[in-house]
Amino acid sequence: LVERMRPFTSTIFAEITALATRTGAINLGQGFPDTDGPRLILDAAAAAIHSGRNQYPPGPGVPALREAVAQHQKRFYGMDVDPESEVLVTAGATEGIAATIMALCEPGDEVVTFDPVYDSYAASVALAGAVRRTVTLRWPDFAVDEIELRAAFGPRTRVVLLNSPHNPTGTVFGRATLELIAELAREHGAVVVTDEVYEHQVYDDAVHVPMATLPGMSEQTVTISSAGKTFSVTGWKVGWLHGPAELVAAARAVKQFLTFVNAGPLQPAVATALGLGDDFYRSLATGLRAKRDLLCDGLRAAGFEVSVPRGTYFVVADAAPLGFDDGVELCQRLPELAGVAAVPVSVFYDDPDAARSLVRFAFCKRDDVLREAVDRLGRLG
Ligand code: PMP
Ligand code: GLN
């Protein structure tokens, strides 16, 4: 294995899921729902398979899906996106991120990222031979520090790789923070690559503001999202990106030699999904908010300190009040101690000390499963 990929031989999500499966623990580690998405879209996928849509789809993606992505961006954010030249369908958000970074970064170029960082970002930056410059989000509010942000930019900054709503912290970046990032990106001629896979999972008074809607930013932003989270079909691996035609063409040049095309029969089904009514999107968020509250209350009752997320389906909790100072060790033992699996947060930080005793739990699970998990965790203390 080449040196630059050696730190990435396994993923924490796969490790924890394997541990949960081996021990029969309730898996609140890896973020995937335990209930499939709407019947309508499962039927649409089956119908596409049975009606013979099983060969290579067009390079940029099935036209109906590109059109649906453009309409979705118009409907929710008022953006004008040309489905012909400004949308690319990818194998999940993961491929969209990798293809974009590889398309934009020369070896030695710098990519500003925010710790805790989603694991594939660091790997994609490494694959491109680029270098990460880190801004650290700190417990318990995980806000962006302006001085640290400014210091992360320099003459070699090529990309800012942003994720809001943010996994794992559940932070939703506010307009002021986004404006500051936009200003610095403009100043340094950097492209903002924004991963918005949790765009419909926001709670309370939080509002998801896409970076590309800020004044002047649609010209230098690549927006990435995916069907996995919004429609509870994480195994389909259908994502998309959109942005100015030149940037989309650049990402497409790389994508065509990573996977060429992907998931032909699932693409029309995702087009159907994106067109679901407002009720669907509303109940997704209300349902998850109730689950968030159930889990946060349970974790607090069990003795954890909790940072209540305003987005995503993850909650970060501090296990130190329970006497556990090492989240990595706790997550290895939690299945045996409590019959529950969770993910340590320190593995997403360059500086593990910023998150020593923090663990992440996913709440995209059935209520009865969450109640059982909370009961079990209640016996920890
Ligand atoms: N970005 C973030 C922040 C994620 O949490 C995930 C996990 N789903 C992904 C990207 C990957 O999405 P996909 O499965 O569509 O590749
Ligand atoms: N995004 C999911 C999470 O954060 C995991 C996806 C994966 O396993 N790569 O849990």
Q: pLDDT of 153-165, one tens digit each?
A: 999 999 999 999 9
Instruction: Give the distance (Å) from ligand 1 centre to CA of residue 43.
Output: 24
Please give the CATH number for the structural domain made up of 39-276: 3.40.640.10
In the chain, CATH 3.90.1150.10 sits at 3-30+279-378
Q: List the residue whose alpha carbon is closest to atom 9 of ligand 2.
A: 13
For the record, the structure tokens of 239 come out as 């994502």
Q: Which amino acid, one-letter code, is at 240?
A: W
Whether residue 305 contacts residue 321, with contact meaning beta carbons closer than 8 Å, is answered with yes
Q: What's the full length of the chain, in residues?
A: 381
Mean pLDDT of the chain: 98
Cis check: omega of the bond before 168, within 30 degrees of 0: yes
Select 3-30+279-378's CATH number: 3.10.450.50, 3.90.1150.10, 1.10.620.20, 3.90.400.10.
3.90.1150.10
Instruction: Give the distance (Å) from ligand 2 centre to CA of residue 167.
Output: 9
pLDDT range class, residue 381, cuts 50, 70, 90? confident
Out of 115, 166, 167, give the residue to mutate to test ligand 1, the one with the largest number of ligand atoms within 8 Å of its CB. 167
End-to-end CA distance of the chain: 43
pLDDT of the residue at 11: 93
Q: How far apart are CA 344 and CA 327, in angstroms?
A: 5
The number of C-alpha atoms within 13 Å of 211 and in the hemisphere containing its C-beta is: 32
Instruction: Give the distance (Å) from ligand 1 centre to CA of residue 121.
Output: 10
CA distances from 202 to 17, 270, 311 (A): 25, 21, 4
> Is the pTM value of this prediction over 0.95?
yes
For the record, the structure tokens of 284 come out as 């997704």
Tens digits of per-residue pLDDT, 57-97?
Answer: 999 999 999 999 999 999 999 999 999 999 999 999 999 99
For the record, the structure tokens of 77 come out as 């954010």
In the chain, CATH 3.40.640.10 sits at 39-276
**H or E element, residue 253:** helix 245-258
CB-CB neighbours of 260 under 10 Å: 11
Q: How far apart are CA 121 and CA 102, in angstroms?
A: 11
Q: How far apart are CA 124 and CA 18, in angstroms?
A: 24
Q: Which amino acid, one-letter code, is at 199?
A: E
pLDDT range class, residue 138, cuts 50, 70, 90? very high
Q: Provide ipTM, 2 decimals.
A: 0.98
Tens digits of per-residue pLDDT, 195-239?
Answer: 999 999 999 999 999 999 999 999 999 999 999 999 999 999 999
